[in-house]
């Protein structure tokens, strides 16, 4: 064998006809351009919505300034408007929804992934997913005609009497049992965010490697210890993402809250009293708004809700980044 003989090398690119290679590059460029255009379109739409809200809010901002955020008065007759009750109601109802919804959602997800019999897992998962498809107005009707009377007759009188005389809690759960109010709206929202948090949490729980859980069980850990020390640390980024998804849903809900919150433009110390939210105020009054200032005040409420949602999502993103960096 001649040692000076050159060894032939195989090049995959050489086996591809030049015409096919050009077509491949063309479709690659088309795909890149289409995906880039879609991304830019999303940014343009977001910017257009923000610009429209800012432009519509100018008359209200000129009339009330930053006092719009701290004023409780809402009087269309005298054209005196303040966003504080709506902001307060939006935050409080969302907090109530999260306080109730997060533990229940996590409990359902843990039951489905760790404790549920195989024959029952699919029916429960399907029922949870169906809850996400129920229109919000159906939740509102159910809350107004079923939940609110039940709370007024059986739950709120008991809660009022139970916390009477307890410092702090007596004012938080005070007043006559209206049935409708901020607390009722929070319960409705907790039911509405439950399928979102549960679905995301269940999916991320199922990504935990079986060897990690089996090792913990082999060391004698209980199911609760496996969930607390193995599953939750491993999936904390996904769990936080699911919680923030549910919070975003709660902040922007309109029709269901409008039915049961009472639509009162005032801040009450009791969460059992009627109140309002930003989305409920806009839905109730936008069609009847007369005059540029009235309409502008409602648009400024929409801008405030936009900013609140943006801040919540930004905070969630930062929290996820910190969790990812801590896990490395």
Output the pLDDT for position 312. 85
Output the pLDDT for position 320. 74
Output the pLDDT for position 328. 60
Given a contact cutoff of 8 angstroms between Cβ atoms, the answer to whether 184 and 91 are in contact is no
Question: Tens of pLDDT along the chain (328 residues)?
Answer: 454 545 455 455 555 666 666 777 788 888 888 999 999 999 999 999 999 999 999 999 999 989 899 988 898 888 899 999 999 999 999 999 999 999 999 999 999 998 888 888 888 988 888 888 888 899 999 999 999 999 999 899 999 998 888 888 888 898 888 889 999 999 999 999 999 999 999 999 998 998 988 898 888 888 899 998 899 888 888 888 889 888 888 888 888 999 999 888 989 889 999 999 999 999 888 888 888 899 999 999 999 999 998 888 888 778 777 766 765 6
Radius of gyration of the chain (CA): 27
Residue 18 phi, psi (nearest 5): -55, -40
Output the pLDDT for position 11. 52
Output the pLDDT for position 1. 46
Q: Which of 162, 317, 165, 150 has the alpha carbon at shortest distance from 247?
A: 317
Q: What is the DSSP string of 273-299?
A: S-B--HHHHHHHHTTT--SHHHHHHHH
Distance CA(109)–CA(266), nearest Å, equals: 38
CATH 1.10.3720.10 assigned to 64-327: yes
């Amino acid at each position: 064998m001649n040692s000076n003989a050159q060894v032939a090398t195989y090049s995959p690119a050489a086996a591809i006809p030049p015409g096919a290679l050009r077509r491949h590059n063309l479709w690659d460029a088309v795909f890149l351009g289409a995906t880039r255009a879609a991304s830019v379109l999303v940014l343009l739409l977001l910017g257009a919505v923000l610009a429209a809200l800012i432009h519509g809010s100018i008359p209200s901002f000129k009339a009330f300034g930053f006092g719009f955020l701290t004023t409780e008065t809402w009087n269309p007759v005298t054209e005196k408007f303040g966003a504080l009750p709506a902001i307060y109601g939006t935050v409080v109802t969302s907090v109530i929804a999260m306080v109730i919804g997060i533990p229940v959602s996590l409990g359902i997800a843990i039951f489905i992934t760790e404790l549920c019999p195989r024959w029952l897992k699919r029916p429960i998962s399907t029922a949870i997913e169906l809850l996400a498809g129920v229109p919000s107005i159906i939740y509102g009707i159910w809350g107004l005609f079923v939940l609110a009377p039940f709370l007024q007759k059986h739950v709120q009188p008991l809660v009022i009497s139970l916390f009477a005389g307890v410092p702090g809690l007596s004012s938080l759960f005070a007043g006559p049992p209206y049935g409708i109010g901020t607390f009722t709206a929070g319960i409705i929202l907790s039911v509405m965010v439950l399928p979102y948090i549960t679905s995301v949490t269940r999916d991320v729980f199922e990504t935990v490697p079986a060897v990690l859980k089996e090792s913990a069980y082999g060391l004698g850990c209980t199911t609760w210890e496996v969930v607390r020390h193995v599953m939750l640390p491993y999936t904390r980024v996904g769990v936080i993402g699911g919680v923030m998804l549910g919070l975003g849903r709660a902040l922007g809900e309109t029709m269901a809250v409008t039915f049961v919150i009472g639509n009162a433009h005032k801040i009450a110390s009791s969460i059992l009293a009627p109140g309002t939210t930003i989305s409920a105020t806009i839905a109730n009054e936008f069609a009847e708004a007369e005059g540029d200032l009235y309409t502008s005040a409602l648009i400024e409420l929409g801008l405030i809700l936009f900013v609140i949602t943006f801040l919540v999502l930004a905070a969630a993103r930062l929290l996820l980044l910190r969790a990812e960096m801590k896990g490395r």
